[in-house]
Amino acid sequence: MPRRTTSIRLVLGCLLWAALAASGGRPAWGMELEGKTAYVWSAYVRNAYAGTCSKVLRKYGETVEKDEVLAWYRLDPEARDSVAQALDEGALRAKRAEARVLDARLDESRLRLGRLREAVSAGVASAAALEEDDAELGLLEIQRGVVEDEMRDLTSRLAEERARLRDELGGVAVSRGNVPWEIPLRSPEAGVVAEQKIAPGTKLDKKTDCFRVARKSLYVKCRVHAEDYAGLKVGDTGTVSIPQYPGKVFSVVLSILPLVPVDKSLTALSEYEASFLVQGEDLFVSEGVRVKVVLDK
């Protein structure tokens, strides 16, 4: 009797696999999968300097545009001083003063050399004196060229520093004499505020995660057992039910089907993490919400 039962199971198994092969490897019934919501891309918005949040303009779940101001924060005095110091032009001013002294000496040396040439032509000065003054002029010109290169380098570095600080300060124009107190926090991309971690009065250390902005591409990530994996292919469609929207279903399409399982251990069944894109819906759903995906037959 046991042998007969085993034989029947084998026959049924063969029939099942034959049916799967005939249908392209997919089961003939709709597959149900449990998953969690997730956004495909997101980025944190951080403050470049220490300060205190003064105003919040966009909140969790709200849609934002690229470069839109999400909040403002006020610089700590020490942070503001550090910005001013970074734009200090003391070294450049010193080089400019040095250049002015050399220019005056060059003018004097050229005038003296011209007179000496006339004296040598008239036979009242020696050629050796002319060569000595000419060599001195050449040395001054070299010194002036070095100072010019140093001024150009300092000017370039200050311009780069000013551009860097302007970036860090949310696009606000800045100079040593005009360092703003209030700094905007801008959205890096168009999307939705997926996390809000600050409120007015929040003390902000440097590089605090203030917001996280996600692109509005909502995915559902589902763990799929190995025995169901063979019945899936990219492009498969279905629907998803989201607790936040009771009585409503949304269309999904399988967009990512990895080749490598999540768990390849010998003691556990292999599972794959399939990602379904929620199609054509302008909706906000928190990440990590448990949902059910039902694939079309």
Q: Using 50, 70 and 90 to split pLDDT, how confident is the model at 294? A: very high
Amino acid letter, residue 145: G
Chain centroid to CA 62: 20
Residues in the chain: 297
SS3 7: helix
Q: Which residues contact 289 (CB under 8 A, 6 or more apart)?
A: 36, 37, 242, 243, 244
Q: Using 50, 70 and 90 to split pLDDT, how confident is the model at 281? A: low
pLDDT tops 90 at residue 230: no
The percent of residues above 90 in pLDDT, for the chain, comes to 54
Contacts 24+ apart (CB under 8 A), 131-134: 133/109
- Partner residues linked to 182 by β-bridges: 74
Q: What is the mean pLDDT of the chain?
A: 86
Q: Report residue 68: phi and psi, to 5°.
A: -70, 140
SS3 147: helix
The CB density around residue 44, as the number of other CB atoms within 10 Å, is 15
d(CA 127, CA 284) in angstroms, rounded, equals 89
CA angle 91-92-97, nearest 5°?
100
The fold for domain 42-76+179-214 equals OB fold (Dihydrolipoamide Acetyltransferase, E2P) (2.40.50)
The fold for domain 22-40+217-295 equals Elongation Factor Tu (Ef-tu); domain 3 (2.40.30)
d(CA 284, CA 213) in angstroms, rounded, equals 12
Q: Report residue 99: phi and psi, to 5°.
A: -65, -40
> Do 44 and 69 meet the contact criterion of CB atoms below 8 Å apart?
no
Q: Residue ranges per domain, the chain?
A: 22-40+217-295, 42-76+179-214, 88-168
d(CA 112, CA 131) in angstroms, rounded, equals 12
Query: CA 144 → CA 137, 147, 152, 156, distances in Å?
Result: 10, 5, 12, 18
Q: Fold identical between 22-40+217-295 and 42-76+179-214?
A: no
144-164 per-position pLDDT tens digit: 999 999 999 999 999 998 889
DSSP-assigned letter for residue 176: T
> Do 281 and 224 meet the contact criterion of CB atoms below 8 Å apart?
no
Mean pLDDT lowest among 68-72, 100-104, 118-122, 195-199: 118-122
77-101 per-position pLDDT tens digit: 999 999 998 888 889 999 999 999 9
pLDDT tops 90 at residue 65: yes
Q: What is the largest CA-CA distance in the chain?
A: 137
